[in-house]
Amino acid sequence: MIQKSIDRTITRQGKRYLRYLGLKNLFGTNRTKEILNVNPTIPPHREEAGEVRAFVYDYDAQHLEVHDCDKVEPCFRFRHSNRISWINVDGLRKADVEAVCNQFGIHPLLIEDILSINQRPKMDEVEGVLFCLLNMLYFNDAKGTVEQEQISIVLGKDFVISFQEDASRDVFNPIRDKLKLSTSKIRQRTADYLCYAMLDLIVDNYFIVMEKLGARIEDLEEQVIRNSNNRALARISALRKEQIVLKRNIAPVRDLINGIIRSESDLLDDRTTKYFKDIYDHIMQAYDLSENYRDIMINMQDLYINNVNLKMNEVMKVMAIVTCLMAPATVIGGIFGMNFDKIPYLHNDYGFFIAVALMLAIPIYMLWLFKKRGWF
């Protein structure tokens, strides 16, 4: 019984420590597959949402109506309301998305984009609607990863429809708060200003994610300087993967916003164009910052390699010094150990002590000489 208990304890302890030795766990190869598993030629297989909710904000400067619907059909009556309508659909089901899009005259190609997965952020103008597809980013503090949620925004005549994958989180709470104030700009402006406000919040949230990622990079830089080990290399690899996610989502948004600015659609008011230019400035700043992070990560990897090489050089230097110090003793011992009949001091009473003294004196002199020349 005692032996079985010891064996079980050893097994538990072995599993506890061996999981850190596996390259798959240490370097996060599963995350690599998630990031690079993008093939637009394969039809998407999106899982149907378990629950779909639609939130409607129907407003003008004087009135505001808020509706929380557990299905999408009640939203159809806002197609021809005399006010601006924001319909936010949380959770994607093919039947519900097609029903909403058909009711509001959205082209089938846009329906495919809404239901797609891992799409590149883009902007399209199709049959009287302006379509924006991009990702909202979140930082998972527990896993240390950048998570993305695809959002589709459709701007039409006096309506904005947004389709979200995750019903539990988004970045639009400031808009909901402003809609409650009759004096807010959103209540005073047209639907294109609401579209601007949504895109602006998504882009601004990129900076929050980048700040958290930047804090991780700063901590990792200190770790690499203090101790360049395999754990630090694994963290460098993991953060570089998150940089890929960040850049993949930020870079295309430049073209998206630029396309809106250059658009001559009747849905966009000239007064709103300057606001989209402000978003463009922000996304360019976010892109430049992501490039800076990328450069820092490359420099950090070079720093890791240099530190490893420096440690190796220190080890080799110590071994070379020890070898040099032992060389005189080896030579002296080899000379007096030769099998000749006549060797100086071979039968001298003090021959042994003279040989040992030379074996000690020469290395001491060599140490003094090395120190004088600054070799260590």
Chain centroid to CA 358: 63
Range of the domain at 18: 1-37
pLDDT computed for residue 44 by the predictor: 62
pLDDT computed for residue 33 by the predictor: 66
Element (H, E) at 131: strand 129-140
The answer, yes or no, to whether residue 141 has pLDDT greater than 50, is yes
The answer, yes or no, to whether residue 182 has pLDDT greater than 60, is yes
pLDDT computed for residue 203 by the predictor: 95
Residue that terminates a domain, selected from 284, 307, 330: 307
Residue that terminates a domain, selected from 280, 307, 334: 307
pLDDT computed for residue 6 by the predictor: 46
pLDDT computed for residue 99 by the predictor: 92
pLDDT computed for residue 22 by the predictor: 45
Cα separation, 263 vs 72, whole angstroms: 30
88 and 98 housed in the same domain? yes
- Could you give the 3-state DSSP secondary structure of residue 116? coil
Residue 57 pLDDT class (50, 70, 90 cuts): very high
Percent of the chain past pLDDT 90, that is, above it, reads 35
- Could you give the 3-state DSSP secondary structure of residue 220? helix
pLDDT computed for residue 212 by the predictor: 93
Element (H, E) at 112: helix 108-115
Segment 310-323 shows an average pLDDT of 85
pLDDT in tens, 84-138: 999 999 988 899 999 999 999 899 999 988 988 888 899 999 888 999 999 999 9
The Cα angle at residue 189 between residues 186 and 193, in degrees rounded to 5 = 70
The answer, yes or no, to whether residue 43 has pLDDT greater than 80, is no
Q: Is 178 buried (19+), middle (13-18) or exposed (0-12) by CB count in 10 A?
A: middle
Residues 6+ apart with CB under 8 A from 114: 92, 97, 101, 133, 152, 163
Cα separation, 141 vs 75, whole angstroms: 36
285 and 165 housed in the same domain? yes
155 and 243 housed in the same domain? yes
The answer, yes or no, to whether residue 376 has pLDDT greater than 80, is no
Segment 254-277 shows an average pLDDT of 90
171 and 261 housed in the same domain? yes
Segment 248-270 shows an average pLDDT of 91
Q: Which tokens go with 207?
A: 């900076």
251 and 136 housed in the same domain? yes
Least confident of 138-147, 202-211, 271-280, 331-340: 331-340
The answer, yes or no, to whether residue 356 has pLDDT greater than 90, is no
Residue 306 pLDDT class (50, 70, 90 cuts): confident
Least confident of 27-41, 238-252, 274-288: 27-41
218 and 237 housed in the same domain? yes
201 and 333 housed in the same domain? no
Q: How many Cβ atoms from other residues are within 10 Å of residue 87's Cβ?
A: 24
pLDDT in tens, 4-28: 554 555 455 444 444 444 444 555 5
Q: What is the DSSP string of 325-376?
A: HHHHHHHHHHHHTS--S--TTSS-TTHHHHHHHHHHHHHHHHHHHHHHTT--
Segment 49-54 shows an average pLDDT of 85
Domain of 50, CATH number, reads 3.30.460.20
Cα separation, 267 vs 193, whole angstroms: 10
Percent of the chain past pLDDT 70, that is, above it, reads 89
2 and 54 housed in the same domain? no
Segment 180-204 shows an average pLDDT of 92
pLDDT computed for residue 23 by the predictor: 44
Pairwise pLDDT comparison (34 vs 198), residue with the higher score: 198
245 and 349 housed in the same domain? no
State residue 60 phi and psi, 5-degree precision: -145, -165
Let me know: does 168 contact 145? Beta carbons within 8 Å. Answer: no
59 and 69 housed in the same domain? yes
pLDDT computed for residue 314 by the predictor: 83
Number of domains in the chain: 3
pLDDT computed for residue 161 by the predictor: 94
Domain of 326, CATH number, reads 1.20.58
250 and 263 housed in the same domain? yes
pLDDT computed for residue 16 by the predictor: 45
pLDDT in tens, 150-172: 999 999 988 999 999 887 888 99
pLDDT computed for residue 21 by the predictor: 43
Cα torsion for 359, 364, 369, 372, to the nearest 10°? 170
**Closest by alpha carbon to 306, among 224, 237, 223, 220?**
224
Pairwise pLDDT comparison (8 vs 352), residue with the higher score: 352
Cα separation, 87 vs 100, whole angstroms: 10
Residues 6+ apart with CB under 8 A from 312: none
302 and 284 housed in the same domain? yes
